[in-house]
Structure 1
Amino acid sequence: MSASRPDVGGLLATLADAVRTRLWPVPVGFVVLALALGTFLPLVDEAVADDLPSVVDTAVFGGGAAAARDVLAAVAGAFITVTSLTFSLTLVTLQLASSQYSPRLLRTFAGDRSVQVTLGLFLAIFVYSLVVLRSVREPLDDGGGFVPRLSVSLSVLLAVVGVVALVLFLAHLVRRIRIEPVLVDVREEAHDSLGRTEESEEVPAALQGRTDGLLVRAGSTGFVTSLDRDALVELARERDAVLDLTATPGRLLVRGEPLGRLLPGVPAGAQVREADEELSRAVREAVTVGEERTSAEDPTYGLRQLVDVAVRAVSPSLNDPTTAVHALAHLADVTAAALEHGLGDALLRDEDDVVRVVLRRQGVPEVLDVAVGQPLLYASGDPVVLAAMLRVLTCCARVVGSDAGSMDLVRASRDRVSAAAEGFREDERWRLLLDEAVAAVDEAAAGRP
Structure 2
Amino acid sequence: MQKLYRRIITWGKSAVRSIAFLPVPMMLTGLLLGIGLFYFETNTELSARVAEKFPALMIKSQETARSILSIFIGGLITLVVFTFTQLMSLFNQVANSYSPRLLPLFTGDRSLQFTMGFYLGTIVMTLIVLLSIRSDEAGYVPNLSVLLCIISGVASLMIFVYFVTNISGKIRVDAIIERVYRQGVDAVKKERTAKGFSEQSLPEEVVNWPVIPSPIDGFLGSVDYAKLSELAKTFNTRLYICTEKGEYIPKGLPLLQCEDSLEEHQVQQLIEAVSPIAQKFGDWYLPPVRLLVDIALKAMSPGINDPGTAINVIERLTGLLNRLMHTPIHNHYQSEAGGEVWMSKRNFQSILMEVMQQLRTYCKEDTLVTRRLFRMLYQLYSETGNHHRNKEIVLEEIRYLLADSRQHISHAGDRRSIAQDIRYHRRQSQRYLHKMDFLTE
The TM-score, its normalising length taken from structure 1, stands at 0.87
Residue in 1 that maps onto 2:273: 286
What does 1:7-22 correspond to in 2, within 5 Å?
17-22=13-18
Deviation at 1:119, TM superposition (A): 0.5
2:432 equivalent to 1:447: yes
CA distance in 1, matches of 2:100, 2:423: 33
Pick closer, same or farther for the CA change 1:365–1:117 going to 2, 3 Å.
same
Deviation at 1:431, TM superposition (A): 2.7
Of the three residues 247, 255, 258, the one matched with 1:251 is: 247
Deviation at 1:247, TM superposition (A): 2.7
Deviation at 1:212, TM superposition (A): 3.0
* Alignment size in residue pairs: 426
Of the three residues 307, 310, 315, the one matched with 2:296 is: 310
* CA contact 1:400–1:406 (8 Å) conserved in 2: yes
CA distance in 1, matches of 2:422, 2:250: 41
Deviation at 1:209, TM superposition (A): 5.0
After the TM superposition, list the runs of 4 or more consecutive aligned residues in structure 1 that deviate by more than 6 angstroms.
3-8
CA distance in 2, matches of 1:4, 1:86: 40
2:87 equivalent to 1:87: no
Q: Quick one: which amino acid aligns to residue 415 of structure 1?
A: R
* CA contact 2:324–2:348 (8 Å) conserved in 1: no
Deviation at 1:446, TM superposition (A): 4.2
Residue in 2 that maps onto 1:412: 396
Deviation at 1:59, TM superposition (A): 2.0
Deviation at 1:208, TM superposition (A): 2.4
Residue in 2 that maps onto 1:267: none
Residue in 2 that maps onto 1:70: 67
Q: Quick one: which amino acid aligns to residue 351 of structure 1?
A: E
CA distance in 2, matches of 1:6, 1:243: 22
Of the three residues 229, 244, 261, the one matched with 2:257 is: 261
Pick closer, same or farther for the CA change 1:379–1:55 going to 2, 3 Å.
same
Which secondary structure does the structure 1 equivalent of 2:323 belong to?
Answer: helix
Deviation at 1:203, TM superposition (A): 1.4
Of the three residues 156, 161, 175, the one matched with 2:169 is: 175
Question: Which runs of no fewer than 5 residues in structure 2 stay unpaired?
Answer: 434-441
Determine which structure has the larger helix proportion and give its number: 2
CA distance in 2, matches of 1:4, 1:44: 44
Q: Percent identity?
A: 23
Which secondary structure does the structure 2 equivalent of 1:250 belong to?
Answer: coil
CA distance in 2, matches of 1:376, 1:283: 41
Q: Quick one: which amino acid aligns to residue 176 of structure 1?
A: K
2:383 equivalent to 1:399: yes
Deviation at 1:112, TM superposition (A): 1.3
2:40 equivalent to 1:56: no
Residue in 2 that maps onto 1:388: 372
Residue in 2 that maps onto 1:216: 212
2:125 equivalent to 1:139: no
Deviation sequence 1:286-325 (CA, Å, 0-9, x none) = 12533343222x3211111111111111111211111111
What does 1:279-358 correspond to in 2, within 5 Å?
279-287=266-274, 289-296=276-283, 298-343=284-329, 346-351=331-336, 356-358=340-342
Deviation sequence 1:309-353 (CA, Å, 0-9, x none) = 11111111211111111111111111111111123x51112426x
Pick closer, same or farther for the CA change 1:190–1:438 going to 2, 3 Å.
farther
Q: Which range moved further: 230-239 or 282-291?
A: 282-291
The TM-score, its normalising length taken from structure 2, stands at 0.89
Q: Which range moved further: 101-110 or 16-25?
A: 16-25
Pick closer, same or farther for the CA change 1:5–1:89 going to 2, 3 Å.
closer
Q: Which range moved further: 108-117 or 188-197?
A: 188-197
Which secondary structure does the structure 2 equivalent of 1:293 belong to?
Answer: coil
Deviation sequence 1:235-287 (CA, Å, 0-9, x none) = 111122111112342222212111120113xxxxxxx24xx432332222212
Residue in 2 that maps onto 1:34: 30
Question: Which runs of no fewer than 5 residues in structure 1 stay unpaired?
Answer: 265-271
Q: Quick one: which amino acid aligns to residue 436 of structure 1?
A: D
Pick closer, same or farther for the CA change 1:39–1:110 going to 2, 3 Å.
same
* CA contact 2:20–2:113 (8 Å) conserved in 1: yes
Deviation at 1:15, TM superposition (A): 6.5
Of the three residues 79, 92, 101, the one matched with 1:104 is: 101
Which secondary structure does the structure 1 equivalent of 2:341 belong to?
Answer: strand
